[in-house]
Each structure stands twice: as structure tokens, then as C-alpha cells.
A and B are shown apart, each in its own frame.
Chain A
Amino acid sequence: MEPTNIESPDYFHKVVDCQWACPAHTPVPEYIRMIAQGRFADAYMVNWKSNVFPGILGRTCDRPCEPACRRGRVEEEPVAICRLKRVAADNKGELNGRMPKPAEAWNGKTVACVGAGPASLTVARDLAPLGYRVVVIDRDAKGGGMIRSQIPRFRLPEEVIDEEVGYITAMGPELVLNREVTSLKGLLAEPYDAIFVGTGAPRGRDLDVPGRAEAAANIHIGIDWLSSVSFGHIEKIGRRVIVLGGGNTAMDCCRTSRRLGGEDVKVIVRSGFDEMKASPWEKEDAMHEGIPILNFLVPKSFTHEAGKLTGVWFEKVGWQTGEDGRRSLKPTGEPDQHFECDDVLVAIGQENSFPWIEREVLDFDKWGMPVVGETTFQSSNPKVFFGGDAAFGPKNIIWAVAQGHEAAVSIDLYCRGQDVGLRPPPGVTLASQKMGIHEWSYDNDISLDERKKVPLLETTLALSSVKAEVELGFDMALAYAETQRCLNCDVQTVFSAPACIECDACVDICPTDCITFTANADEPDLRASLKAPALNLTQDLYVSTALPTGRVMVKDEDVCLHCGLCAERCPTGAWDMQKFLLNTTQAGGCR
């Protein structure tokens, strides 16, 4: 193999699995160390700069970082990254002027953001301190978008939303609420230099089966129903509730039902349990509240009496492999099943909806989605940008934030007459952590603790109110113990071939057999011939230049504990532990 180019920002970034997996590339180990040191406000600001909503995401994030966490490959469970983020938010105290100040002068440019959800608010946050006049328009009475309307209060208290939306509005953007934009053409006629569309995926998919119209009074679309609950328009539901769908919205629907009078609440899903779209922890949380999940049942019809819903018929299905070798769900031939209920919540997916965008203003593809640049988020109308669910369909908050940052970069470039295709590179630093012969500026002793569980409110109390937050968050002792599980993957093992005397000390001490000195070969041969086989192909091999014996050093990054023992045992300093810090460049940061 060719020697690894560690100068490329991507190489070490990929080693920090959590940061690489995070759409916003939040420097996770960096803020976890700050939490361990009790520097909660600093940890909050590292998060805030990158993901804008640490308090909200610390409770609701879909956590792409956690399945990626290296700890999960070394022992059972990844670090509880998401809930540590909440620790930073809950304990930050005074931020003492750390937030950016409103711009002193208007730069002469005005940007409209349609929708006041996470994507639009991110654009507003990035652009307002640069001097832009940002006008955020939303049809609801309060800012926050789906964060406020769809996430139940028992998972995310309203004060947290108010606080983090408040940080943004304090920087000067103008919030125009209770205004529904009905025509993009009309908006384009207003004196805006650029328009950002962050309207999300606001339409819940309906289920068109017999009985739907007759029993309509007791059949609700999940996200609309959640929104009505959030804004206080709905306070009750029937005793027996069936939730259709297997995603996170379905989990929110069933848990909300339990708090609004639903005693016999079931989730009924077409697919198997493992194929459900809901995150594993959301399924666990629902089952913990006594909600059964029934799988392989497809709704066939609603039964009703005198205009009142009485139940749902289901057809039993199972996985079958067709002639083309593809698996699909097919009826098993077992008799249909009937479940009685008083209300049904339909949470079988959501869609984009752009009735207010005239098709002559910008291009749409054959699926009815706007044509949007993958990195620029610019539409075919150069003045109009998209982000969040509105750009590429339903995802989650952290994606909306990441896309908002990128769209803000584009809008800034566009407004200054520059090429939106020239993306600014990230800011990268690599600095030795050596403090003494065996002393590092990070805690390199590896904790063997298992993942800590977040304490919960007692179930009867939790179910008594839709506003009582279920998760209590880590206390200080649990939070500290959990921070110690982080392997500090951003502290990189950096190898200098000219200094190496090939004494094998690093090979002998490495607890996870990551390091091998061997004759160079092609990647597949090298992967098979290392001290421990490098079977995880998603993880890179770090290959040195040739050493005096003609061999090369090969390090499999896969399960490196970043304990630094290779560097401690190295007599010549050929190994060094260097902290890799990557900050994605945000709007204005590249000037």
C-alpha cells in the first residue's frame, strides 16, 4: 500500500468515528473531556457552535454518532454521547457573554427563511451575526418548527426550546409568526436578496382503506395530532388506542396516548420488529411504559358502528424470498385479526408538500422534490436555497442543522457574488498532547465501566402528565463515570518513520494488537497478515513509509483504544499522541 497521507483532513477525521458520523461533525471527544473537567459552559459552547441546539439534541437526537462509537466495537455499548450533551446543557449555568453579539451594522443584505424549524434557525444564527437582516416566517404561533410541534413535552420541556430558540432570536433575526407563505413567486417579489426554504416535511401520510371516511372522527394523522397536543388543542384520547406505524413518530404517538387517557395502547406494525424505523431506544422506552408492539400485521379496514370507530382488521404477513432473491412481505394465509379500539393514530410516514411553490419559479424532479445542489443546497433558481427535510426528504434535527450550516455558507457566498460551488475547507489542528515522560494532557487510563443508564421518572408519575419529563438526566457522578468511557479517539497516534528503530515495544504493549511491522503488500494481503486480522473494512489502515529493515509499520485503526501506551513505550518518540481538532467552516468563517 502507499504510505497514508495524514495531511488530508479526512484521514484522522474518520478515526474520530462519532464526529465523522455526525452530520454537523461536532467534536464529540473534545466536549466530553470538558464535561469530565466540569467545564459545562465550555462544553455547551463547543456543541452550540456546531449543532445549535445542544439542550434539544441532548434529549431528542437520533444520535448517528452512537452506533459509530469505537467503544461499541471494544465492548457491548457505545458511550452515551447524546445524554452527555444534555449534561452540558443542563449544567452550563451562566454563559457569560459567550454567545455572538448582534451585528453592529446591517451589511445591506436581507434573507428570508420560510419556516422556523431547525434548518431555518441555523441559517438565521449563522447569518445574523455577520450583519445580514434575516426574516424568519412561520405559520405557527411560536418558533421551533417540528421541534415544538411534533416532539412531545415529556421528552423535551418547552423551556428548553424557548431558551435555545431565544439564543438565536437575541442575535437579531426578525421572527414573523402566524404567517403562512402561500406563494414563492410573491415572496420573490419582496425585496429579499436570498430565500431559504426550511419548511420540513409537514404532511403525514394517510391510510386509505375501507372505513377510513366513515370512522374519520376517531382516526388521526400522527404528526397533526401530536402538534395539536403540543399546542394544547387536544387533551384527551380514547381508552383503547391503536398506533399504526413503526417509526419514531409512532413511538411518540403511543407514549403521548398513554398520558392522555389511553390505557390499552398498542403499536401495530407492518414489518418485523428489527426492521422498524424507530430507534432501538425509542422502542425500548415505549415498551417500558407498557405498550406492546405487534409486528407483521397490515391494516385492511376500519370497523365502525353508527359513525363511531370500533376497531381495525389486520392481515398477517411474513417475509418471503421471491424468485429474484429479494425479500418481501407476503400474506401468510393465516386468518385476519381484529383489534378493538376507540382511536387510531396513523404514523406511517410523512411527506414533503410544496403547494405554495410555483413550478415555473424553480425545477422539481419526477418525485415532486425540488432540484437542489447536494453540497450547495441551491435550487435551480439561484436566489432560492433549501435545507432540512424540505431539501432531501424526512431525516432528523441534526441533519437539518448540518444542512442549514451549508446553506448559510452558500447564501453568504451568493450574496457576496462568489461561487457557491467553492466550499471552504474545514479548520484542522493537530497538536501533541505530551506533558512529560508518561504524562498526557488527556486521561489515557481506560475505564472498564459499562454504559450508564439515565435515571427515569417513576412510571406512574411519568404517565400522569404529558408535560412531566421522563428522563431525569445523568447526575454528576453518573455523568463523570460515563465521560470516562470515552476513548478520546480524537487524540491520534501519529507515527514518524525516520525516528523508528523497530524495537517492537509498541507492538508488545498494544492491548488490542493494532500495530504490526511487516513487509508491504496490497491492502487485502496486508489486512489478512496483521498481528490481528483487520476485518472491519470501514476502518483504514495507517501505513508508514519504508523503515530501515525494508518493512513498514501498519496500524489498523479499528479498535485502537487511544490509550497512548505505544507512545509511552516508544524509546525514540516515533509515536506521539496528537489531538486532532476539526471545525467545519461556517458562513463567514472563511473570509
Chain B
Amino acid sequence: MTYIAKPKFAHPSLQPNAVGYTRRDYEGRVSTLCAGCGHDSISAAIVQACFELDLEPHRLAKLSGIGCSSKTPDYFLGASHGFNTVHGRMPSVLTGANLANRSLVYLGVSGDGDSASIGLGQFAHSIRRGVNMTYIVENNGVYGLTKGQFSATSDKGSKSKKGVVNHDSAIDMVSLALQLGATFVARSFSGDKAQLVPLIKAALRHKGAAFIDTISPCIAFNNHAGSTKSFDWVREHNEAVNRLDVMIGRSPITADYAAGDTVRVEQHDGTVLTLRKLAADYDPTDRIRAMGFLQERQAAGEVVTGLLYVDPEAEDLHDALGTTRTPLNELNTADLTPGSAALSGINASLR
């Protein structure tokens, strides 16, 4: 951590994006996390993704719970809306905010404690309802704020910094999300921004519940030999199924790949996801086979990363509820209180 703020001076080549902001404009306050924390890299990836997407900062809301990961929204997008909620309750607050104002882009940031322990139920229900959001779990497999106890995502058999072996089974958030019906599921690694940034971009453009499990080594308590969330372990066992390029609007696809090496997926809003295959025969639009593949590779000790599943035709909670296109917070009194004639009509329809 550092006491001084990041100096305002920037590289002379720094350019503004289409909405007039430079990448530095998407930064937040200086991080108070431990030096080298993976979470800071994820914050930098979010900054980069929002800059590249030409997102106007005031059109995004960032929500989080409690924990090291949930502190991070203070360290990026300083000009966006933010809500630091109760422990494990981010998904509910996000759902409510999304229902009230569907015009914002919602980014939920949580950790393995916040989402896999105290907030597991909240996590599950927000996913299965298909809330239109990007849900990032900064997964370090340890309770860092309380000095290094195993968390619910610590792998069985992995060792704590003290040398204790974990005897509990791990919750695999990616498998859970697939099972619960998330329409965009990915896993990445804080130490690989080339993979992480396009995934965040695609997720932010995805309509529906987009979930990214990001392994983020805890430098202070979970970066030792015997840990399965350390830089070394993840780098040695990382098996990326694909590499993602995100094309927005009508920008031509310039990357030249041999036929059969890519999968092209067009999302609702026209975002084109070009996936360069790294694992042969991996189809990111087949949920059932994705689940099987994950189980198989996990059993072999691999950490599978990349865009694991995407449903380009996904619908969200607003579609399911048939809510009005106008954000609820913009409805006026006449729309909200249509009068006794309308009430009579409703009553009559229920007789």
C-alpha cells in the first residue's frame, strides 16, 4: 500500500476514447490493499475495459459487499455510482437497483468469502433470476482480512501459509454459475490481463447474468508452495480454452485466423465475440458439455480459464417480469397512479 496519491501526470501518448475520457479518468482513489495484491490488477483490468468500451463513467454502477475484494470499487471508476453493501448482500442490492433503473450498466464486485460463504444464497438467486449484470468474484481462496483462514473456495488438500491442510471440499463458483443458469460464464486470472480485459468487456456488453470467476493471488496469505491460488500454481496449471477478441458495432473483423480455429458469437447488442480456440472441440455455447469438460479437467488438476459458456440469445429479469422499457425511476406520477378506472379494470380482470 502507499500513502501518496498516484501523480496526475500521464504519458504524453495517452489518448481520449470516443466519449472524451483517457484511461486515467477511469481510475479511482489510491489502493490501500497490500502491495502486489491480485485485486489491484483486476481493478486495472476493469479500468482498461471500461475505457475501451467508451463507457461514460456516470452510466455505470459498481456494487460490492465486504472484504478485500469489496473494497476495490473505491480504487476504480471514481466518477461512477457506487454502493458498498452489507456482507454477502451485494446481489440483492444490485437486483433492486437494476429493477429501479435498468438504464445503467451494473458491475458487482465480490470475493470468495462474500459470495461463496455468507452470500452464497444471494449469489445463487441473482444468477438464476438472470439479473442483467457483470458479477466478478475476486477469488483468492483465503480470508485475507482475518489473517489467512481457508475460505469456501480453498481446494481440498491445499495448504495454508501455516502449513495446515484443508479437509473441506471447495465450492466451484463456475460450476455453480453454469448449473444456476448464468448466460455468460468465464474464468480468468489477475496475472493475465490480455485474457481478463476482453472477458470483462464482453461481460459488460452481455445482456443477462454474466459471471467471471477471477483467481487473484493473496500475496500476504496465499501465495506459498502448497497453495492452489498462488501465482506459480495458476501459471503452471492454467489451461485456457480460448482467447477472446471483442468487436463492437460494425468494426470489421481484421484478425486473420485459419478457418475452423475460431468461434464467432454475436451478442444481442451486436457485440461480436471472436474466440480463438485453444482447446480443440471446445464449444462455448454448449452448457452441458462445458460442465462436463470442466469437471473432467478439474479432476486432472487443471485450472480451466477463458470464456466457458455464453448464450447469445439470453434474456434477463426485466424480460421475465415484463417490466416497462422506461426505467422505473423515470416514471411520472400519472404512469405510477393510473387512477380508479385502471384499478377497476385490473379488479375486473381478476374476477
| Separation of A504 and B38 alpha carbons in the complex (Å) | 8
| Separation of A570 and B35 alpha carbons in the complex (Å) | 6
Known: A446-B7, A503-B217, A565-B6. 7 other contacts (CB 8 A): A75-B9, A445-B7, A446-B8, A511-B10, A512-B11, A568-B35, A571-B34
Contact A563 B4 (CB under 8 A): yes
How many residue pairs bridge A and B at CB < 8 Å?
Answer: 93
Q: Given that A549-B235, A570-B35 are known contacts, is A565 also in contact with B223, CB under 8 Å in the complex?
A: no
A-side contacts of B14, CB under 8 Å: 513, 532
Task: List 29 contacting pairs A-B, 8 Å CB cutoff, sorted by A.
Answer: A73-B12, A438-B4, A446-B7, A448-B7, A502-B231, A503-B36, A503-B217, A503-B219, A504-B41, A504-B191, A505-B35, A505-B37, A507-B44, A509-B2, A509-B40, A511-B7, A512-B9, A512-B10, A513-B11, A548-B232, A549-B235, A565-B6, A568-B1, A569-B2, A569-B35, A570-B36, A571-B34, A571-B36, A572-B36
Contact B2 A503 (CB under 8 A): no
- Pick the 6 closest A-B CB pairs, nearest first: A571-B36, A446-B7, A508-B44, A532-B11, A568-B2, A503-B36
Contact A448 B13 (CB under 8 A): no
The reply to whether the CB of A307 lies closer than 8 angstroms to some CB of chain B is: no
B-side contacts of A444, CB under 8 Å: 4
Main secondary structure of the interface of B (DSSP, over half): loop
The reply to whether the CB of A170 lies closer than 8 angstroms to some CB of chain B is: no
| Separation of A438 and B1 alpha carbons in the complex (Å) | 8
Contact B8 A505 (CB under 8 A): no
B-side contacts of A572, CB under 8 Å: 36
The reply to whether the CB of A472 lies closer than 8 angstroms to some CB of chain B is: no
B-side contacts of A509, CB under 8 Å: 2, 6, 40
Q: For chain A residues 59-112, which have a beta carbon within 8 Å of chain B?
A: 73-75
Q: Would you give the shortest CB distance from B229 to chain A, in whole angstroms? A: 13
Chain B contact residue count (CB 8 A cutoff): 32
The reply to whether the CB of A559 lies closer than 8 angstroms to some CB of chain B is: yes
| Separation of A563 and B30 alpha carbons in the complex (Å) | 14
B-side contacts of A504, CB under 8 Å: 41, 44, 190-191, 193
| Separation of A571 and B34 alpha carbons in the complex (Å) | 8
| Separation of A445 and B3 alpha carbons in the complex (Å) | 9
Q: Would you give the shortest CB distance from A215 to chain B, in whole angstroms? A: 53
The reply to whether the CB of B242 lies closer than 8 angstroms to some CB of chain A is: no
Binary flags per residue of B200-239, CB closer than 8 Å to A gives 1, else 0: 0000000000000000010100010000000110010000
The reply to whether the CB of A535 lies closer than 8 angstroms to some CB of chain B is: yes
Q: For chain A residues 545-575, which have a beta carbon within 8 Å of chain B?
A: 548-549, 559, 561, 563, 565, 568-572
The reply to whether the CB of A431 lies closer than 8 angstroms to some CB of chain B is: no
Most buried by A among B12, B24, B235: B12
Q: For chain A residues 494-514, which have a beta carbon within 8 Å of chain B?
A: 501-505, 507-509, 511-514
Closest to A503 in B: B36
| Separation of A293 and B316 alpha carbons in the complex (Å) | 72
| Separation of A561 and B40 alpha carbons in the complex (Å) | 21
| Separation of A504 and B219 alpha carbons in the complex (Å) | 12
The reply to whether the CB of B64 lies closer than 8 angstroms to some CB of chain A is: no
Q: Given that A444-B4, A501-B223, A508-B43 are known contacts, is A559 also in contact with B12, CB under 8 Å in the complex?
A: yes
Q: For chain B residues 135-158, which have a beta carbon within 8 Å of chain A?
A: none
Q: For chain A residues 310-329, which have a beta carbon within 8 Å of chain B?
A: none
Closest to A71 in B: B9
A-side contacts of B191, CB under 8 Å: 502-504
Contact A445 B235 (CB under 8 A): no
| Separation of A532 and B23 alpha carbons in the complex (Å) | 12
Q: Would you give the shortest CB distance from A575 to chain B, in whole angstroms? A: 10
Contact A563 B7 (CB under 8 A): yes
Q: Would you give the shortest CB distance from B28 to chain A, in whole angstroms? A: 12
Contact B13 A533 (CB under 8 A): yes
Q: For chain A residues 297-351, which have a beta carbon within 8 Å of chain B?
A: none
Contact A448 B8 (CB under 8 A): yes
Most buried by B among A438, A446, A505, A532: A505
A-side contacts of B35, CB under 8 Å: 505, 568-571
A-side contacts of B24, CB under 8 Å: 511
Q: Would you give the shortest CB distance from B153 to chain A, in whole angstroms? A: 20
A-side contacts of B8, CB under 8 Å: 446, 448, 511
Contact B40 A508 (CB under 8 A): yes
| Separation of A366 and B205 alpha carbons in the complex (Å) | 75
Binary flags per residue of B11-47, CB closer than 8 Å to A gives 1, else 0: 1111000000000100000000011111011011000
Q: Would you give the shortest CB distance from A103 to chain B, in whole angstroms? A: 49
A-side contacts of B41, CB under 8 Å: 503-505, 508
B-side contacts of A511, CB under 8 Å: 6-10, 24
| Separation of A559 and B219 alpha carbons in the complex (Å) | 29
